[in-house]
């Protein structure tokens, strides 16, 4: 999906080839872990890749990994990983066990197909709203309610208008905010329609929040909006309620919505970050997770589905909510689930050229 992906989705920043060349390093030295003191027993004194996973790949002598999120694709399977290396002033493209090259410049075009597939838990699902509408919206110009939806083999509608839309990558889940005009031609009603059914909204919704897998969707509304206020924007002085796709609501919750730093986990937990204290995550309106590093890129957070633990990724380093940190070692961290447990997985490389498949439970 977008989200994950959970993760899956997006979000890390791509740089120019000139900037990438500056990232070629002779090695990646091991760094000591640090701790905020929250759970010292869980923090290793020194990071060692082999403590978190096995060696999956080894570079040739003199070959160096072109370091950077732009240069590595890793989705949790070492049958599906790609990266770029340098050796003797030339560049090589690794696609699992196949190597192509040499190239005079980093072959960035070879990675284009995978860049958009990076899992991101906090991806902005409606950023491609217009493209989604063009793909799934149907139009009957002969009708007074001309708009409909066709997703998979199912049709929905008709509606007088479709204001916003999200469809999961496998098309099993969708959400849309639609407009219906009453027979008198004056009264307008808004609905949240989805694969689960239809819920009437008190008015036009300014935004929604959708979990990474698309199984949870809710709309933040103030108390006055819940009572039918026509004002579509959130009043920063009011708490918010979350109106869910099945009609139930949660709240009131202190509103930090103006920061655009909020998300749902797949477990239905509402996570927010205040701009005044960027080391604390609020879950369902209450302070819950503390980090030793300020969270400046909200989209780089990875949380378990109940938001009881998480990790923040920043420029090659992982900062866990239990106080552990793994510095200058991580490449492409993402959320993974196995045996009912949640992990953060990442690639790591040591100065001998060993590439590790690492994971740590959240």
| pLDDT digit string, tens, across residues 109-161 | 776 555 444 444 444 444 567 788 889 999 999 999 999 999 988 999 999 99
Domain hosting residue 169, numbered range: 127-207
Distance from C-alpha of 316 to C-alpha of 159, rounded to nearest angstrom: 47
Helix/strand/coil for 256: coil
Q: How many domains does the chain have?
A: 2
Is the separation of the CB atoms in 227 and 202 below 8 Å? yes
Q: Whole-model pTM above 0.75?
A: no
Task: Look at residues 207, 227, 243 and tell me which one is the last residue of a structural domain.
Answer: 207
Same domain, 71 and 162: no
pLDDT (tens digit, 9 = 90+) per residue, 5-22? 222 222 332 233 333 333
The first and second tokens of residue 361, run together, are: 């439970």
Mean of all residue pLDDT scores within the chain: 76
Identify the weakest region by mean pLDDT among 105-114, 264-273, 309-318. 105-114
Residue 102 lies in a domain: yes
Per-residue pLDDT for 213 more than 80?
yes
Identify the weakest region by mean pLDDT among 10-14, 115-119, 214-218, 246-250. 10-14
Same domain, 227 and 195: no
Same domain, 116 and 244: yes
List Cβ neighbours of 217 (8 Å cut-off, separation of 6 or more): 166, 175, 192, 194, 208, 209, 210, 211, 244, 245, 264
Same domain, 217 and 252: yes
Predicted pLDDT of residue 27: 38
Q: End-to-end CA distance of the chain: give it in Å, rounded.
A: 21
Is the separation of the CB atoms in 145 and 157 below 8 Å? yes
pLDDT band at 43 (very low <50, low <70, confident <90, very high): very low
Task: Look at residues 207, 238, 255 and tell me which one is the last residue of a structural domain.
Answer: 207
Predicted pLDDT of residue 31: 38
Same domain, 69 and 199: no
Per-residue pLDDT for 59 more than 70?
yes
Is the separation of the CB atoms in 10 and 121 below 8 Å? no
List Cβ neighbours of 22 (8 Å cut-off, separation of 6 or more): none
Q: Name the more confident of 337 and 259.
A: 337
């Amino acid at each position: 999906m977008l989200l994950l992906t959970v993760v899956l989705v997006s979000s890390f920043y791509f740089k120019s080839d000139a900037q990438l060349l500056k990232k070629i390093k002779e090695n990646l030295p091991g760094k000591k872990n640090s701790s905020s003191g929250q759970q010292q027993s869980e923090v290793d004194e020194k990071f060692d890749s082999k403590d978190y996973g096995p060696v999956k790949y080894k570079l040739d002598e003199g070959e160096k990994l072109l370091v950077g999120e732009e240069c590595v694709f890793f989705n949790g399977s070492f049958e599906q990983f790609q990266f770029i290396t340098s050796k003797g002033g030339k560049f090589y493209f690794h696609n699992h066990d196949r190597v192509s090259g040499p190239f005079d410049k980093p072959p960035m075009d070879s990675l284009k197909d995978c860049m958009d597939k990076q899992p991101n838990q906090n991806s902005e699902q409606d950023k491609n709203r217009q493209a989604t509408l063009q793909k799934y919206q149907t139009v009957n110009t002969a009708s007074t309610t001309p708009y409909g939806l066709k997703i998979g083999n199912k049709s929905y509608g008709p509606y007088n208008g479709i204001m916003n839309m999200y469809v999961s990558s496998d098309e099993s889940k969708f959400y849309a905010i639609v407009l219906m005009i009453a027979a008198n031609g004056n009264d307008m009603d808004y609905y949240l329609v989805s694969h689960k059914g239809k819920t009437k909204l008190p008015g036009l919704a300014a935004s929604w929040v959708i979990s990474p897998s698309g199984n949870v969707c809710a709309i933040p509304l103030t108390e006055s909006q819940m009572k039918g206020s026509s004002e579509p924007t959130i009043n920063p002085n009011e708490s918010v309620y979350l109106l869910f796709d099945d009609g139930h609501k949660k709240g009131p919750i202190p509103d930090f919505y103006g920061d655009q730093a909020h998300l749902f986990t797949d477990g239905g937990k509402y996570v927010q970050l205040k701009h005044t204290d960027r080391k604390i995550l609020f879950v369902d309106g209450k302070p819950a997770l503390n980090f030793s590093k300020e969270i400046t890129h909200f989209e780089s957070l990875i949380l378990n589905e109940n938001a009881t633990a998480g990790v923040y990724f920043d420029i090659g380093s992982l900062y866990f909510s239990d106080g552990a940190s793994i510095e200058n070692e991580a490449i492409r961290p993402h959320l993974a689930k196995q045996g009912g447990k949640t992990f953060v997985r990442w690639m790591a490389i040591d100065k001998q050229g060993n590439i590790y498949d690492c994971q740590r439970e959240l």
